[in-house]
Each structure stands twice: as C-alpha cells, then as structure tokens.
Amino acid sequence: MKNTSLLLLLLISFEAFSQNNKIVDLSKIRLCELTIDNLKEQDSNLKQVELEEMDMCSDEFVQDRRFENRIGYESELYPGVIFQKYQTDDIIIAKIHLKREFKGYLPDGNYIELKTLKASDVLKKYDSLETWTSRGCSDYWGIKKDDKLNFYVKIDKDKKPQYPVDIKYYSDQYIQGIDIISDCYSYNQKTKANPLYIVDGKEVTEEFIRDLKPEDVDSITVLKDKSAVDKYGVKGKNGVLEIKLKKK
C-alpha cells in the first residue's frame, strides 16, 4: 500500500531540497507539523547548538515563550538553518533561524543568498514592513513582515546619535540573520476540527466550498479515520470531503 503519511511526505520533501549544490527550499517545510523526530529520521547526526537570539536582550533576561530560546538543532543537510522547537516538552518545530551561509528559498518562494543580502534589498522586495524595530537592549535592528519573517541588521554602537535611526546608513548594511516564526497554537486551533476539502483533485478552502452551487456537484466522497490519513497524510486526520464537479 502506498504510504502517504506525514513523515514520508516530509522525507520526500527533504530529499528534494537537499541538493548537492546546497540550495535549501524552505517552502517545502511546514512549521507546526515538522518535528525533531522527523529531522532525526533524515539525519542521525542532528546536533543541538546554541544560537544568538537577535530579537532579544543579550543578558538573556527577556524570553519568548513560543519557542525554546537560544537552543536549536542543526543538520549538515540544511546549511545555514537552525531549527527551534516549542519551549514545552513538545517536539514540534516552531521557528527557523537562518545564518549568513544560508542560500535558498524562503517560505514565500523568494530566493536569497544571505551573505549578499542588504537591508535595502529587503525593503525593495516586501511591502507592509515594520522597520527598524528593537527591544532597546538588542544588538540588532529588526525589519519585520507580519511578525513571521524577521530580518536583522547589526546596530553600530559607535554611531552617535543612535536615534533617530540613520535609515540611509543602515539600509546599506548586510542582513546578519533571519527568523521565521509560526504561531503553532493558532495553527492547531484552525486546523483541529475542519475536514480537508478536495475539489477535482485539488485542495480548496472552506470559503470555496461555501460558494459552490449544488447543481454544479457531480459526486461527494467522504473519507474518515485511517482511509483519510492513508491517502492525504496528517491533513486528513479530521476527515476528507472529495468533491467532483460536473463537466461543463
């Protein structure tokens, strides 16, 4: 029987973006579904490492309860990537930190080579940014996109005055790291009870289903429990509605 479990899907995805040229494709990774165990399945040499939290105070007083602070996991399969899990005993990956050697695709599909990426490149690439943010005790300025994609520029302590921010100067500085964060609590609440909707072989939203007219539907197949998970992986854990539309 064809195994379409979440683990197998992750392993296939990992193999697809772990190429010899070291191009990493983060769009293949689903935060809040990926776990430490999945990573260990791929790399038995997965190692725990310390890392600098660029959005926090260097004295380690401030904590972010969404994930395990200043501790992550590295694999040679994903150069420049540090995976971080929830702060609790949960093994779910909630955050990814990218170091300067990272080269590849971000979750939104944008390709970057971090060691050549400047703040000005980020400002040109994205709209609706929160720019030059800081906790006041951090060593970095942050450029944020929806608090899910965070770029960091090193603050020059010798540059006086520090405020107001010299935008021209810092726009020309290189990005030193990137944080990709997911709110797994909201994600799990959103996906906890809803079935998976498949229309003519493609996944669609609940809003799409609501807009369907009954006269356009040819057939509906309901999959539950093991049959749903066997076919669609973890996405099918709450059941699946397969809908075929009439051909016009």
DSSP 32-69: TT-BHHHHHHH-TT-EEEE---TTS-TTS----TTS-T
Q: Which amino acid is at 78?
A: Y
- Residue-wise pLDDT for 152-205, tens only, equals 999 999 998 888 999 999 999 999 999 999 877 665 555 556 788 999 999 888
Highest mean pLDDT among 11-15, 30-34, 101-105, 199-203: 101-105
CA atoms of 59 and 39, how far apart (whole Å):
30
DSSP 159-210: SS--SS--HHHHHTSBEEEEEEE--HHHHHHHHSSPPEEEETTEEE-HHHHH
Residue 233 has a pLDDT of: 82
**Residue scoring higher pLDDT (31 or 50):** 50
Task: Write down the residue that tokens 């390709």 correspond to.
Answer: 111
pTM more than 0.75: no
Residues 39-49, mean pLDDT to the nearest whole number: 94
What is the chain's percent helix, strand, coil content, to nearest 5? 25, 30, 45
Name the CATH code of domain 6-187 (choices 3.30.70, 2.60.460, 3.30.420, 2.30.30): 2.60.460
φ/ψ of residue 230, rounded to 5: -60, -35
CA 100 to chain centroid, in Å, comes to: 17
H/E run at residue 218: strand 217-223
Domain chopping of the chain, boundaries: 6-187, 193-245
Lowest mean pLDDT among 26-35, 132-141, 157-166: 26-35
Side-chain-facing half-sphere of 233: CA atoms under 13 Å: 11
Residue 173 has a pLDDT of: 98
Q: Confirm if 145 and 126 have CB atoms less than 8 A apart.
A: yes
Asked if pLDDT for residue 69 goes beyond 70, the answer is yes
**Residue scoring higher pLDDT (227 or 118):** 118
